[in-house]
Amino acid sequence: MTTPALSLKNLSKSFGPAKIINDVTLDIAKGERHAIIGPNGAGKSTLFNLISGLYVPTSGTVSLNGTLISGVPPHEINRMGLSRSFQVSNIFANMTVRENVRCGVLHSLGQGYSFWKNIGTQKDVNAKTFEVMEHCGLLDKANTPAALLPYADQRSLEIAITIAGGADVILLDEPTAGMSHSETDRAVDLIARATEGKTLVIVEHDMGVIFNLADRISVLVYGEIIASAPPSEIRGDPKVREAYLGDEALPEEVV
């Protein structure tokens, strides 16, 4: 058996007496597209923060490609090949789109903290920045300050920065939140293209997006994973219906 890209073992996180994540065990294989769903306050964002290093687990472990990463600072986890986006747009507001993406590619191209190089003449940096912007459909807005972008483009930029470093495990936190239908379609298309061949973990509320993208779905309720299975099985799972979906009708067959 190959090592899973991401492996959570008995992971728990408490804030004081409040247990937010409770004994979560989950393996995500390389190349898998894994969705995490659950009602508001189930602990999805906390789970992301635990995986990406923003929080240190109260107990349990997180491993990335077999290496233990719980307790490692976020920037080092990032360098090991795990990148994440945020629920609210978390971009460099005073920089242009191009500068934002360029910041994202710097470390993967070995630029480090250098202060003896001119960033404008680094050919590999510029080429990679161009490629990522082209990939995310941001070329025509390259010189727009990020703060002035329309919301949907800010979300695209968020994804662009996330994938820019070339990480092979990508965590996306509600990438389509607040988008219109057509914007969502474009975002899903972008996510599918941008994460091709990579391991994707996505938190999402939009069921259409989930059933479109995911190979496997985990349902998180009150900090516990109550089911983890392919979309077709999740759809029929009575536990899931009761805990999460309630009366909401699931989309029938998603084409």
Partner 1 sequence: MSNATTTIESLQPSSAAKFRQRTLPILIFAAVIFAIPMTDPSRTMYSLMHQIGINIVFALSYNMILGKAGLLSFGHAVYFGLGGYFCMHVLGWIEDGVGPFGNYPVFFLPLLGFGGGALAGAVIGWPSCRKAGTTFAMISLGVAELIAAAGFMFDSLFGGEEGISGDRMNGPEMFGLSLGPIDEVYWFIAFWTVVGVIGMFAFTRTPLGKLSEATRDNPQRVQFIGYNPQQVRYLVFIIAGGFAGMAGGMAAVNYEIFTPESLSLIPSGFVLIMAYVGGITYFAGPIMGAILLTYMQSMMSDFTEAWLLYLGLMFVAIVMYAPRGIAGIVFGFVDGIRGGNAGAYFTAWIIRLVGCLLMLLGAIVLIEMSVRWSNGYGEVFEPFGLHLGHTNVLTWILIIVPLVAGGYILRRASREEEEGAA
Residues at the contact surface with partner 1, assessed by CB under 8 A: 52-54, 73-75, 78-79, 83-84, 86, 90-95, 98-99, 102-104, 106-108, 111-120, 122, 126-127, 130, 134, 139-140, 142-143, 161-162, 164-165
Strand bridging mode 169-173 / 82-84:
parallel
Considering the complex, state which of residue 51 and residue 221 has its C-beta at the smaller distance from partner 1.
Answer: 51
Smaller CB separation from partner 1, 22 or 89: 89
The whole-angstrom separation of Cα 199 and Cα 28 is 8
C-beta of 134: minimal distance to partner 1 in Å? 7
164 or 188: CB nearest partner 1: 164
The nearest distance, CB 107 to partner 1, in angstroms, is 4
Where do we find the tokens 């600072």?
73
Nearer to partner 1, 129 or 218 (CB): 129
Count of CA atoms in the C-beta half-sphere (13 A) of 108: 24
Smallest gap from residue 3 Cβ to partner 1 (A): 22
Helix (H) or strand (E) holding 108: none
Helix pair angle (151-164, 123-135), 10° resolution: 130
C-alpha torsion sign, points 30, 32, 38, 44 = positive
In the complex, least distance from residue 91 CB atom to partner 1, rounded to whole angstroms: 7
Given the complex with partner 1, which of 60 and 165 has the nearer CB atom? 165
Q: Which residue has the tokens 């349902």?
A: 219
